[in-house]
Structure 1
């Protein structure tokens, strides 16, 4: 099993737009409906206001590294990434569990 973790935070130069943010997060939450080889998927908002914290976490799992490699260029994922880039920056970690 391969875990794919991504942390998101609002871009510093972008004004907070809660309606847009909620829309983007909802789209993230629905992505497994479009990609049937995602095995696990959780999108969570940060709950503590600390400078070190990022705003959201995506915790996902796939059968293996090859499945992650299929996921990254998937059209549904790429369409979401295009819109996320306007509002968020992110970092990712992929590891075998």
Structure 2
């Protein structure tokens, strides 16, 4: 099993737009409906207001590294990434569990 973790935060130069942010988060939450080989998928908002914290976490799993490699260029994922890039920056960690 391969875990794929991604943390998101609003780009520093982008003004807060709660409606757009909510739309993007909802699209993230529903991505597994378009990609059937995602095994587990949780999108969670940060709950504490601390400078070190990022705004959202995506915690997901796939069967193996090959599945993650298929997921990354998937058209549904790429369409979302295109829109996320305009609002969020992110960091990711992938590891075997």
TM-score under structure 1 length normalisation: 1.00
Q: Say if 2:79 is the partner of 1:79.
A: yes
1:6 matched to which residue of 2? Answer: 6
Q: Which stretches in structure 2 are left out of the alignment for 5+ residues?
A: none
Q: Which SS does the other structure have where 1:7 is aligned? A: strand
Runs of 4+ in structure 1 over 2 Å off: none
* Per-residue deviation, 1:68: 0.1
Cα deviation digits, residues 23-69 of structure 1 (max 9, x gap): 00000000000000000000000000000000000000000000000
TM-score under structure 2 length normalisation: 1.00
Q: CA RMSD in A?
A: 0.1
Q: Which SS does the other structure have where 1:81 is aligned? A: helix
Q: Which stretches in structure 1 are left out of the alignment for 5+ residues?
A: none
Tell me, in whole angstroms, the C-alpha distance in 1 between the residues paired with 2:47 and 2:10: 15
* Per-residue deviation, 1:91: 0.1
* Per-residue deviation, 1:16: 0.1
